[in-house]
């Protein structure tokens, strides 16, 4: 099962991908997480990507497209994967299609997590994430048991640099202009299902799984 999670920054793609990964036993592929790991370890890719990420704009397609194409060829993706944060524009969507075609595979479903702008801003302004496993917290609504420490892996949690107020505005604009057109793109291919992203985390995961199952039974 090859799934794409779409949604604005702060919609909960990361949290839901992690949950889905555990439930469906397929890996989460987060381009944001992979890029941040490259920035931290100062690889060539990380050094190139950082200037774009700091501004809240998309890293050039050629840098991310190959990164994803390589990742989905790994053995753990043989039975499926969850793409989190990719594709972010139509050229990226076309490139993953070509890669999958060459492997005799396809995208089975695209889930859009829908959250209004006010809630996105509320979530992003207080978001804290784990440096190691990427688990997400919120300073008011979802605090870790031990301050500054991830409940899941015990590593340090921090505020992403691109969660600052002005960068968040830029990221939301990029989402509207470049990523949101993917909703029509996948609706036209009868792959898109929208899910309400407001509610309990597990309740939303259940709704996503139900939508994926329904889509599968229809094909």
Whichever of 10 and 109 has its CB closer to ligand AMP, that residue is: 10
Measured from the CB atom, is 35 or 135 closer to ligand AMP?
Answer: 35
Distance of closest approach, residue 136 Cβ to ligand AMP, in angstroms: 10
Distances (CA, A) of 151 to 20, 107, 156, 163: 19, 33, 10, 21
Per annotation, catalytic residue among 36, 50, 128, 171: 171
CA distances from 206 to 24, 28, 38, 111 (A): 11, 17, 32, 12
Decide if 160 is catalytic: yes
Which positions lie near ligand AMP, rule CB under 6 A? Answer: 9, 31-32, 35, 52-53, 56-59, 64, 85-86, 88, 92, 162, 171
88 among known catalytic residues: yes
C-alpha separations of 116 from 13, 16, 113, 177, 194 in Å: 14, 17, 10, 16, 13
Which residues pair with residue 138 across a beta bridge? 127, 142
Contact 16, 5 (CB under 8 A): yes
**CA 9 to CA 172: how far, in whole Å?**
7
Q: How far is the CB of 216 from ligand AMP (least distance, A)?
A: 25
**Identified catalytic residue from 13, 18, 36, 128:** 13
13 is catalytic: yes
Task: Assess whether the previous peptide bond of 87 is cis (omega < 30° from 0).
Answer: yes
Question: In the complex, which residue's CB is closest to ligand AMP?
Answer: 32
> How many CA atoms lie less than 13 Å away from 76 in the CB half-sphere?
9
Question: What is the C-alpha separation between 93 and 203, in angstroms, rounded?
Answer: 28
- Nearest-approach distance from CB 186 to ligand AMP, in angstroms: 15
Which of 17, 205 has the CB closer to ligand AMP?
A: 17
Least Å distance between CB 200 and ligand AMP?
22
Measured CA to CA in angstroms, residue 165 lies from 115, 126, 128, 172 at distances of 18, 10, 14, 11
Which among 18, 50, 123, 127 is annotated as catalytic? 127
Nearer to ligand AMP by Cβ, of 58 and 195: the residue is 58
Check 50, 88, 123, 128 and give the catalytic one. 88
CB of 188 to ligand AMP, least distance (A): 21
- Cβ-based nearer residue to ligand AMP, 132 or 206: 132
Catalytic sites, residue numbers: 13, 88, 127, 160, 171
């Amino acid at each position: 099962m090859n799934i794409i999670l779409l949604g604005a920054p702060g919609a909960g793609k990361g949290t839901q991908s992690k949950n889905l990964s555990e439930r469906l036993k397929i890996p989460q592929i987060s381009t944001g997480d992979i890029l941040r790991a490259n920035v931290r370890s100062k690889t060539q890719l990380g050094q190139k990507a950082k200037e774009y990420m700091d501004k809240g704009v998309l890293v050039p397609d050629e840098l991310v497209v190959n990164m994803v194409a390589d990742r989905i060829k790994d053995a753990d993706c043989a039975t499926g994967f969850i793409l989190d944060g990719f594709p972010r524009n139509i050229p990226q969507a076309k490139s993953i299609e070509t890669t999958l075609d060459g492997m005799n595979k396809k995208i089975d479903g695209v889930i859009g997590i829908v959250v209004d702008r006010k809630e996105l801003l509320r979530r992003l302004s207080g978001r804290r994430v784990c440096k190691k496993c990427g688990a997400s917290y919120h300073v008011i609504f979802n605090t870790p048991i031990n301050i500054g420490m991830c409940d899941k892996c015990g590593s340090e949690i921090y505020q992403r640099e691109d969660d600052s107020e002005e960068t968040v505005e830029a990221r939301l604009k990029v989402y509207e202009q470049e990523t949101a057109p993917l909703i029509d793109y996948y609706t036209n291919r009868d792959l898109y299902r929208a899910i309400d992203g407001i509610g309990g985390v597990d309740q939303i995961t259940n709704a996503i799984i139900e939508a994926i199952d329904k889509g599968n039974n229809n094909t």
